[in-house]
A = this chain, B = another copy of it.
Amino acid sequence: MKKDNSAPTMKDVAKEAGVALGTVSKVVNGLPVGESYKIRVEDAIHKLNYQVNSYAQGLKANKTYTVALLIPNTIDPFFSSLAHYINIALMKRKYRMLLCVTDYDPQQEQEYVRMAQQNKVDGIIGLTYNPELIVEENTPFIAIDRSMGPKIPCVACDNFAGGQLAAEKLADLGCKNVAFLRVGSSLVNEPNKRKAGFENGCLSRGLHYEMKILENEESYEEFERFLSERIHDGKLAFDGIFCVTDRLAHYVLNMLRRLNQRVPEDVQLIGFDGVRAFGNIDYLCSTIVQPVPEMAEICVDLLLRENELMKPPLVCLPVSYAYGGTTFG
């Protein structure tokens, strides 16, 4: 037994067991050795309370079994739910996950990508709106919601179909005049297809529609002005509104209350994302639900696939509609 307090090494185990160092190494790495040797080494490991040093193991395999998740924050419910399910999908495969909240900071994001190249992680799953981010082709990277080039797979829900579904649902529920409200960057990204899908749905179902698109969250009062200008004799020109996110729908719901419009009696409202109260209770509004557990599973599956040929540039997963009190059904 060692007399000092330092952790026992593989050498100490070899000495205790009375075998060569190589024999201990074989046992630790699961390689075949004679049964009597194996028992002696295992007894010594147990006696010394020897812990396998994962750094030494990682150095050998040049694999970390660690994946980094780049995400703006875990406060927004859509992001925190993604983080949760990606974590579970990785754990199922005995991988660990580094959480890297970026707060939309491009420098921070680039730093995490660099980390992957320093053998610190085996790959990255990233939700970033940073158009400047440089990801070299040999870095295993899966993008969520924004295509980053033909060699980097992008996973998203079927945003176009989601927009279309919102229009069709409003038509089914009796709406004739609808509006689409969006806030967000004009950057080419998957969620922008919600607009195109909604337009398509309106055209195919003969709905009159109007669009109001703002660049950033600070100008929410412009939505209120837009809506109030379309109220004549107390009656809003729209009987249906589709908001690009549940978050925006939450704000619009409050605006409509201030403008004395009843939801859903006067105007029906559909959001997008599928956010629930406290993460798993009721939907906060009627909504197009993103399949977050399935998106998480496919991100991890694609990242860890060895065969590069089996990595498609874009994977879109099906959305669904959920009633959340702001429509007739």
Contacts and interface: CB of A to CB of B under 8 A. Distances in A.
Nearest to A68: B96
A100 B118 CA distance: 23
Interface in A65-117: 66, 69, 73-77, 80-81, 83-84, 87-88, 91, 96-101, 103, 108, 117
A278 B83 contact: no
Given A53-B118, A59-B56, A117-B51, A80 B75 contact: yes
Interface string A52-68: 11111011000010100
A120 interface: yes
Interface of A: 51-56, 58-59, 64, 66, 69, 73-77, 80-81, 83-84, 87-88, 91, 96-101, 103, 108, 117-120, 246-247, 250-251, 275, 277-281, 284
Question: How many monomers of this chain does the complex have?
Answer: 2
A188 B312 CA distance: 51
A77 B278 contact: yes
Nearest to A54: B120
Nearest to A73: B84
A205 to B, nearest CB: 30
A316 to B, nearest CB: 24
15 contacts: A54-B119, A55-B59, A55-B64, A74-B83, A76-B278, A77-B77, A77-B279, A80-B80, A87-B99, A91-B100, A96-B98, A97-B99, A99-B99, A247-B281, A250-B278
Contacts of A53: 59, 118-119
A85 to B, nearest CB: 9
Nearest to A80: B80
A75 to B, nearest CB: 4
Given A53-B118, A87-B101, A98-B99, 10 more contacts: A54-B120, A59-B59, A74-B81, A74-B83, A75-B80, A80-B83, A87-B99, A87-B100, A247-B281, A250-B281
